[in-house]
Amino acid sequence: MKILVTGGAGYIGSHVIRQLIAAGHETVAVDDLTNGIQKRIGDTPLVKLDLASPEATDSLIKAFKEYSIDGVIHLAARKAVGESVERPEYYYQQNINSVTNLLLAMREAKVMNMVFSSSAATYGSPDVDQVNEDYLARPINPYGETKLVGEWMMADAAKAWGLKVVSLRYFNVAGAGFDDLADTSIANLIPIAFNAIKNNKPIQVFGTDWPTPDGSCVRDYIHVLDLADAHITALDYLDQDVREHSVFNVGTGKGSSVLAVIDTIHKVIGKDFDVDLVDRRAGDPAALSADVSRIEKALGWKAKHDLTDIVSSHYRASSN
């Protein structure tokens, strides 16, 4: 299939593009290059576009026709939870307008397949150790809210005009599948920790008094290569039949605490560094891990990589 990947020059998007090509698909990227880096996508054509801008619908219709696009993987979004709390209107403008423009263009150009990048942030702060897709989604920040609204828009398009769509709720994505595709933004725990070590600064642990086994927060860390493969599997699933909008968790089903991540980093790099135990960060749920039984059963997809693979691949790629 010919797949248009929005956010294609980003950290996750460039992994998705490589895995699509490896699986025999052809790719086109859409990216405004605010965080994306063009050299990550090699020979894949780039449509440089702010998807939330008023002219995006027409530009997309043109691109769909020019490249005979069969399906879309929509990753492009603003995704910093803290920033979304400070600038909610910007997050709604960016993340909702982009979905609106994309769906208008897809309907007009009769592009009927979509994989939508959603997030575990849609769950908010669930009171279960492993959350499944039927759990009531109650996001606790504007970022999570925009992702949930995006899912609703997908479901409505599926009902109204037969869009075939899967929404993937990502848990904590990290690692690198290729040495030139490291996560260069210093926005999440593993890149932040490596950056601190590089600069001889302590790694901060946000809270050690959480109701978890070692007192630090628990998350489900998923290797970016496993995540990219989940998109390819989701496309194959859409290709099989007309389906209702389905939502799948993408995680490992195994939670790791912040202290366990730091311990893994210590083992992988084999040298000491400083760790500061500081106060809790506002808005953090204590524990968030995926129940992955639905995606395993429906798509036959299962994560192959563990936390050590994630940490060592990030280490290798970020030292590159």
| Residue 79 binds ligand UFG, judged by CB under 6 A | yes
Q: Which stretch binds ligand UFG (CB under 6 A): 68-76, 119-127, 223-231, 309-317?
A: 119-127
Q: Which is nearer to ligand UFG, 113 or 119 (CB)?
A: 119
Residue 147 burial (C-beta neighbours within 10 Å; 0-12, 13-18, 19+): buried
Residue 94 binds ligand UFG (CB under 6 A): no
Which residue of the chain is nearest ligand UFG when measured via CB? Answer: 217
Which stretch, 98-106, 117-125, 235-243, 299-307, contacts ligand UFG (CB under 6 A)?
117-125
What does each C-alpha distance from 80 to 94, 105, 143, 164 come to in angstroms? Answer: 12, 27, 7, 28
Among the listed residues 171, 194, 248, 315, the single contact to ligand UFG using CB under 6 A: 171
Closer to ligand UFG at the Cβ: 164 or 223?
Answer: 223
Told to check if 119 binds ligand UFG by CB under 6 A, we report yes
Which amino acid is located at 271 in the chain? Answer: K
Q: Which of 78, 219, 223, 231 binds ligand UFG (CB under 6 A)?
A: 219
Q: How many CB atoms lie within 10 A of CB 311?
A: 26
At which residue do the structure tokens 């496993």 appear? 226
Tell the smallest beta-carbon distance from residue 81 to ligand UFG (Å).
Answer: 6
Query: Which of 39-47, 61-69, 114-122, 132-140 is the region at the interface with ligand UFG (rule: CB under 6 A)?
Result: 114-122
* Tokens (6 digits) for 150: 């995006």
Closest to ligand UFG by CB, 27 vs 212, is: 212
- Among 274, 281, 304, 308, which residue sits at the site for ligand UFG (rule: CB under 6 A)? 281
Contacts of 8 (CB under 8 A, 6+ apart): 14, 16, 17, 27, 28, 29, 30, 31, 36, 41, 44, 46, 75
What token pair was written down for 179? 């040495």
Helices and strands: H and E segment counts in the chain: 10, 15
Question: Total residues at the site for ligand UFG (CB under 6 A)?
Answer: 19
- Structure tokens, 183: 């996560």
Scanning residues 9 to 68, which ones bind ligand UFG (CB under 6 A)?
Answer: none
Q: Does 78 bind ligand UFG (CB under 6 A)?
A: no
Query: Greatest CA separation found in the chain?
Result: 57
Nearer to ligand UFG by Cβ, of 66 and 209: the residue is 209
Residue 230 binds ligand UFG (CB under 6 A): no
CB 137 within 8 A of CB 122: yes
Taking CB under 6 A as the rule, does residue 189 contact ligand UFG?
yes
Name the H helices within the chain: 11-22, 56-66, 81-86, 88-109, 142-161, 189-198, 224-240, 258-269, 293-299, 307-318
From CA 31, how far away is CA 51, in angstroms rounded? 8
The stretch among 15-23, 43-51, 116-124, 177-185 that binds ligand UFG (CB under 6 A) is 116-124
Residues designated as active site: 143
Report, in Å, the least distance between residue 148 CB and ligand UFG.
11
Contacts with ligand UFG by CB under 6 A lie at 79, 81, 119-121, 171-172, 188-189, 192, 204-206, 217, 219, 258, 281, 284, 288
